[in-house]
Amino acid sequence: MSGSVPELKLSDFTGGDAAARAGFREALFASLRRWGFVILADHNVPTDLLDRAYALSAALFDRPEAEKRSLAGGLRGYTPFGAEHARDSQAPDLKEFWQIGREPTPEALAVEPLPPNVWPDQPEGFRETFAGLYEGLDQTGRLLLSALAPGLRLPEDWFEDRVRFGPSILRLLHYPPVPADAPPGAVRSAAHEDINFLTILVAARGAGLQLLDRDGSWVAVETEPGKLIVDSGDMLARLTNGVIPATTHRVVNPEGPNISRYSMPFFLHPHSDLSLAALPSCRDARTPDPEITAGDFLSQRLREIGLG
């Protein structure tokens, strides 16, 4: 196999005519089936917001270690360097991160038991910026699911009520320069598949993201700043019975200058009580996995990667 991950314009779906919308749906479905990935240009998240978010993320991770650790909050706030590992690896990932979830408003809490966010006092403007980024990426994910639905023989709005108040997570990632005493085999992010429906990654500041192609080769996934990289996760793979796969990917250690890498993935999750049983249109694709809810599946996976 050869080639590269296709780039699509989200504006074809949000502002195009009927032919453009249909073309986007077909291309999105085809790219996720073939690669498990797609690159999005002309999307709904302003470039100045992305630039501001990266500047604030770098400033956050530059804060003193003791200050960051004082803001650890389980699945919200700070998670220290080396705490997470891939499901099939015992070597720690060489990263630290900060997680922001959906705000637990009364309307959201009526659907999902959401924990409160942890917001730092510094850097200034952090909460406003990342609340805005969360909202923008959440909207992007919902648009993509509505574009995928007809290909799965579902109404375009089928996913909407199933993800509107889901426990989606925005993760700010910092991969520091690789330390000289890193454990043998440790990399910035070991080979893994994502847990959720869709991951929307703001194009990283720094190279290293690779996907595992169907022929066993590793393919670099890179694009210009301001674009989004989308991949499908295990929950969507289970729901579609493998019709839309979850592609293995990793972040390798730098081959050139040993410098920091920053990225910001948004993990789009359905409501915890949603069954991940195979959709009727996908049941003949393979033998379905045993039925499980999204919440139970998430809990199982978090334990396997050291966060549960």
Architecture of the domain delimited by 7-304: Sandwich (2.60)
- What is residue 165's DSSP assignment? T
Q: What is the pTM of this model?
A: 0.93
Angle between helices 126-148 and 18-34 (to 10 degrees): 100
Mean pLDDT, contiguous 10-residue spans, the chain (308 residues): 84 96 97 96 92 94 93 87 66 86 95 94 96 97 98 97 96 87 77 93 78 91 89 97 94 80 94 97 94 94 76
DSSP H helix total and E strand total for the chain:
9, 13
Rg (CA), the chain: 19
Q: What is the pLDDT of residue 93?
A: 76
* Domain ranges, ordered by start, for the chain: 7-304
The SS3 call for residue 190 is: strand
Alpha-carbon span 9 to 28, nearest angstrom: 10
Q: Please, is 1 exposed, middle or buried when counting C-beta atoms within 10 Å of its C-beta (0-12, 13-18, 19+)?
A: exposed
